[in-house]
Structure 1
Amino acid sequence: MNSFFIINISCLLVGYVVLQQIPSYVPLCKRKEPDLSKCITNSINTLGPYLVKGIPEMNLPPGDPLHFFNATIRSGGNSAVALEAESWNHTAFDLMDFNIKDFSLNLENINLATTIQFPSARIKGHYHLKAKILLFDINTNGFYEINATNVIANVHSDGRRYMKNSKEHIELENFVLDIQIETAKINFSNLINGNEELTEVANNAINENINVVYEELRSIAGQVLGDIVVLYFNSVFRLFPMKELFPDD
């Protein structure tokens, strides 16, 4: 085999191994830490500024803005709201300016509970909406933007252990999220099929009665934040074994 080829392959493999090393600026918590949950909380909060640009060594993408997945919502709602909505090409802003208010990770039973506060959050993307909202019958598509403040996400999850390359890893699954939003404003383009004046009227009416679509907003936020929690935690857990993330000493 060509020696030049062997050298290049070796360099690639070495580079790959280096990329899988935990960066020195990431605070690690020992498995037998007296207060493991507090240590993890401080570690995650410390990483907020780094998560804005992403941490490629840990397979974490740039977080502001953050591009993510599709969402589908169907709601019988109440007398004021009934809708079917699909949205895609989402972009979220300000989500890396978070504060972990409470955190508990049981490494024996593999379950997680945490409360995360987002002082502000902005999400925009494409939508298709078939709905009755207030007095408006809507069947259209366009762009949307949601601006929310003081979003509180309560996250619960269990998980499993598995072996990868003879090393123990964990994976979180079965996420349950409860979302609370203090204030929110939503804007749709082309809400009334190209009629800008009626679209403005409809947007104003929706925001003046934002409580009638509150559950739908919670559903959107829940899907978005749930996907993000899964992405960030499991990306790290899949890449690094337990003994590297939580060393014994």
Structure 2
Amino acid sequence: MAPSRQLLQLAVLLTAARVCSCALADHISVCHRSDPRVDDCINASIDALRPKLRVGIPEWSVPPIEPLTIDRVTLRRGPNSALLEAVVRNATAWGGSDFVITNLKSDLDKNVFRAKVFLPRIRFEGDYQLKMTFLLFHIQGQGFMTGSFSNYTCDLLMKGHKVSKGGQEFLEFEKMRFKLKVGDARFNLSDLFGGDPVLGPATNTLINDNSALILEEVTPALEKSLEDIFTRIANSITLKFPYDELFP
């Protein structure tokens, strides 16, 4: 009986391994550590995975990354004579899945990955409250806000370590680090001055002409949101498959 049970257990393990390998192959390419072009393989695998990340991978418990959500961004900058105070709530952003990796360098001995990432365009919307003093202008308002960030570049750092589960090793990432470099930005705030048809557009023009000040405050919140979301996604994938299966 004992040999039969052992054979049955072995058959179950082999079947599970085949199922796991097929599930992995359905979504990403396996990259061999000994491959001198392993970085190209990893990049190609991520590129192939991107359309699935957009809508999520339920069988891996990976949520969709379209849209990204940021609960609250608070801005306060400058003295009273040139004050910017703003709160943006319930912000929703689209375009995060259109990232392009332009340079990837991996160290599989240390499980460290560095990359440069290009974000062509992020479109967002949310509810805002604004108080702004600029030169002789005193601006207050609240309403609905839309806008876009374009031509963002990002330096990405990922550090991982191996963890043991069930006698096998898995790769787990620490919190990723994103460093965004701002490109262009456009904002449109509705209901400024009660929807005044002259003052509202003029104020939006003033805000866009000085968008760099706003971007300096918005960027850290966007970095944190991207760090949290992509760390969670990466670990949802790497903790599903043994390290030797991901990187044989």
TM-score normalized with structure 1 length: 0.75
Contact 2:70/2:92 (8 A) holds in 1: no
Structure-2 change in CA distance of 1:166 and 1:102 (3 Å): same
Alpha-carbon distance, 1:29 to partner: 0.9
Question: Any idea what the Cα deviations from partners look like across 1:38-86, whole Å, max 9, x if unmatched?
Answer: 21112112223333333333333334x3243424344445774543535
Q: Which has the larger radius of gyration?
A: 2
The answer for the alignment partner of 1:218 in structure 2 is 219
- Corresponding pairs, count: 227
Percent identical pairs in the alignment equals: 26
Equivalences for residues 134-145 of structure 1 within 5 A: 134=134, 135-138=137-140, 141-145=142-146
| Cα distance in structure 1, aligned partners of 2:158 and 2:133 | 34
Question: Any idea what the Cα deviations from partners look like across 1:108-153, whole Å, max 9, x if unmatched?
Answer: 32322111111111122334x4543533454x65432221221111
Contact 2:20/2:241 (8 A) holds in 1: no
| Cα distance in structure 2, aligned partners of 1:176 and 1:229 | 10
Q: Give structure 2 stretches of 5+ with no counterpart.
A: 1-15
| Cα distance in structure 2, aligned partners of 1:119 and 1:167 | 39
Q: Secondary structure at the match of 2:212?
A: helix
Of 30, 40, 43, which residue of structure 2 is paired with 1:41?
43
The answer for the alignment partner of 1:200 in structure 2 is 201
The answer for the alignment partner of 2:149 in structure 1 is 148
Equivalences for residues 85-234 of structure 1 within 5 A: 85-88=87-90, 90-127=91-128, 129=129, 131-132=131-132, 134=134, 135-138=137-140, 141-192=142-193, 194-197=194-197, 198-234=199-235
Question: Any idea what the Cα deviations from partners look like across 1:167-221, whole Å, max 9, x if unmatched?
Answer: 22222224332212321101233455x4454443322210122223231232343
| Cα distance in structure 2, aligned partners of 1:131 and 1:48 | 39
Q: Secondary structure at the match of 1:24?
A: helix
| Cα distance in structure 2, aligned partners of 1:196 and 1:170 | 56
Letter in 2 for 1:34: P
Q: Give structure 1 stretches of 5+ with no counterpart.
A: 1-13
Is the helix fraction higher in 1 or 2? 2
Structure-2 change in CA distance of 1:25 and 1:236 (3 Å): closer
Q: Secondary structure at the match of 1:239?
A: coil
Q: Secondary structure at the match of 1:163?
A: strand
The answer for the alignment partner of 1:9 in structure 2 is none
Letter in 2 for 1:221: L
Q: Secondary structure at the match of 1:70?
A: strand
Structure-2 change in CA distance of 1:240 and 1:207 (3 Å): same
Letter in 1 for 2:213: V
Equivalences for residues 44-83 of structure 1 within 5 A: 44-63=46-65, 65-77=66-78, 80-83=82-85
The answer for the alignment partner of 2:12 in structure 1 is none
Contact 1:141/1:191 (8 A) holds in 2: yes
When the two chains are superposed, the root-mean-square deviation of aligned CA atoms in Å is 3.0
The answer for the alignment partner of 2:244 in structure 1 is 243
Task: Report which stretch shifted further, 47-56 or 28-37.
Answer: 47-56
TM-score normalized with structure 2 length: 0.75
Q: Secondary structure at the match of 1:60?
A: coil
Structure-2 change in CA distance of 1:74 and 1:212 (3 Å): closer
Query: Are 1:31 and 2:33 matched, yes or no?
Result: yes
